Amino acid sequence: MKVLATRRYPGAAFDQLGDVEISSLELERPRPDVEGVIVSNEPVPLDLLPGLRIVANFGVGYDRIGVAACVERGVVVTNTPGVLDDATADLAFALVLAVRRGLVEGDRLVRAGGWTTSWSEGAISEEVAGSTLGIVGLGRIGSAVARRARGFDLRVLYTQRRRIDTPLGEYRELDTLLAESDVVTLHVPLTTDTDRLIDARRLALMRDGTCLVNTARGEVVDEDALVAELVSGRLQAGLDVFADEPRVPPQLLDLPNVVLTPHLGSATRRAREAMTRLAVDNLLAVERGDPPLTPVARVA
């Protein structure tokens, strides 16, 4: 099977693809020879790939791929669930700690030679233990965050469409969760229902000093409204994702109340190599005529 990969994906599994070409999907001519693609949530030009059988997404979120159009043409779409939960939950937690304890600001101060007084005169921050963490989306990654929160003695609230009985946290409606939490962390996929789920009205429900952590998708938050809240200094944030990556709103760059990372959620060796493994296994399964391992939508 001829496969186009938008880059060389990490790990030895990639070498098991017999006929793979590294190429951008901004194709200049039709490629009827291509039967499989590996993408990182990039749009797929279906019109130029008439022989396509499978889109193997390297990642769990597939909001830019155009799944409905793929299904219509009988193209299988797969993703890589499960293997990046720990990595993403760790990063979400790292952002909670970094924002709440002023880690990046402290590092900047030391490097700039600005630490000139006694430790007892330095800036103070809010304690993480004992505060309330609101998890929006208690799926695989949200649950992994909730388990970490236990070890840090946080009180955990969660919200999602389906209320469940779980020892991981107490259920709240979204608006109530936003108003009750000291830290809110987002773990929902980007869909038409979650696009700008956290809009200006909902941001305003958050109490002064609340920290918003986003390792999901930038578009889940109204970015302009969030920037306004952060520029005013009313809220804090740890942001790993943005609406127009890799562009980061320039107003955020100098703010002391924001920690910014470049979409690092799954960026551990173990997670990324496992993501390649799963993407390749999906391609090989379709090549053999077997069902894909982790389809996001089944083709009739």
- Name the residue among 10, 136, 19 with its Cα closest to residue 83: 10
For the question of residue 245 being annotated catalytic, the response is yes
CB atoms within 10 A of CB 261: 17
Q: In what helix (H) or strand (E) does residue 285 lie, and over which residues does it extend? A: helix 269-288
Tokens coding 123: 């800036």
Among 39, 55, 61, 143, binds ligand DGY (CB under 6 A): 61
Among 84, 128, 203, 226, binds ligand DGY (CB under 6 A): 84
Minimum CB distance to ligand DGY, residue 217 (Å) = 7
CA distance 53 to 56: 10
Q: Which residue has the tokens 């809010």?
A: 126
Pattern of binders to ligand DGY over 251-290, x per CB under 6 A? --------------xx------------------------
Verify binding: residue 81, ligand DGY, rule CB under 6 A: no
Peptide bond into 81 cis (omega under 30): no
Minimum CB distance to ligand DGY, residue 171 (Å) = 25
Write down the catalytic residue from 245, 269, 270, 298: 245
Minimum CB distance to ligand DGY, residue 8 (Å) = 17
Write down the catalytic residue from 217, 219, 229, 277: 217
CA dihedral 133, 134, 136, 137 (to 10 degrees): 60
For the question of residue 234 being annotated catalytic, the response is no
Positions that interact with ligand DGY (CB under 6 A): 41, 59-61, 84, 265-266
**Residues noted as catalytic:** 217, 245, 263
